[in-house]
Each structure stands twice: as structure tokens, then as C-alpha cells.
Amino acid sequence: MNKNILAFLILLPLMLSSNALANHEINDKRLRCTVSHLNEAKKWSETQVNRYDKFKHCAVSCYLSLRCPRREVLVVGVLKEFYDAMGYGNAEFADLIADLKGIRLVKKQQAKHDTDCVQLCDRMYPVQ
């Protein structure tokens, strides 16, 4: 088994049992926020040709975090990697790190607009 997938599967229960989920802070209504914005984010992501995959993870997570609760965005990122790990994509632990970096840009108020997300994530993950 790929060591990235193994690390992901080991950390998954820890992430899913976090305080956010244990305290039921993420409910159906709040999850709808991220899901409702995913199509916009996916369409935008598809326009970013020649961009490093990690840039897309960072920028999309930042974009979603500007609109939705950060914990919810993280859960959706974890679920996406879980989906990939089940054989529908290429699961990588580094994708989750890039998601966290995008979320952190909003948390630290470094990104306040979509353009900030693109510029800051581009510095971390420049065009190949």
C-alpha cells in the first residue's frame, strides 16, 4: 500500500473525531455551504492549466474558507482524499497539507478576497 494512503488512513479517524465533529458543530446546514460552492470552485480549478495540483488544493480551500466554516472545508477536503484513496483518484497526504495551508490563509486573515487566495497559493506552489 502506498505510504501516503497509509498515513492518510491512519490520520482519518483522528480528524473525523476532532472536537468539531464530537461537539456536532458541523451539521447538515453548514455542510451545505461548502457543497453549494464546490461546483464554482471546480469550474475555476479546471481553468488553471499548467498549475501544480497542490496550488489548486490550496486555492480552492482558501476560496471555500472565505465563504464557509473552515472546519467544514477541512472535512470536505478529507472526504475528497478518502474518495481518492478508495481508487477513484490519487490520494496524497500532501493534498491535505495544501488544503490546510489554504484554510490557514483565511484563518490568519492574510486572504480576504479570491485574488488573495490565488496570489498567496501561487507563491507557495508556483506554476510548473
Any idea where the domains of the chain sit in the sequence?
Answer: 3-124
Residue 29 C-alpha cell reads as: 446546514
Per-residue pLDDT, 114:
93
Residue 21: predicted pLDDT: 45
- pLDDT score recorded for residue 20: 46
Whole-angstrom distance, CA of residue 11 vs CA of residue 62 = 22
Query: What is the pLDDT at residue 64?
Result: 95
Q: Name the one residue in this structure whose C-alpha cell is 501544480.
A: 52
Torsion of CA 119, 80, 27, 107, to 10 degrees: -20
In angstroms, the first-to-last Cα distance of the chain is 28
Q: What is the model's pLDDT at position 38?
A: 85
What residue ranges of the chain have pLDDT lower than 50?
17-26
Residues 6+ apart with CB under 8 A from 38: 64, 76
Residue 39 confidence (pLDDT): 84
Give pLDDT, residue 40: 87
pLDDT at 23: 46
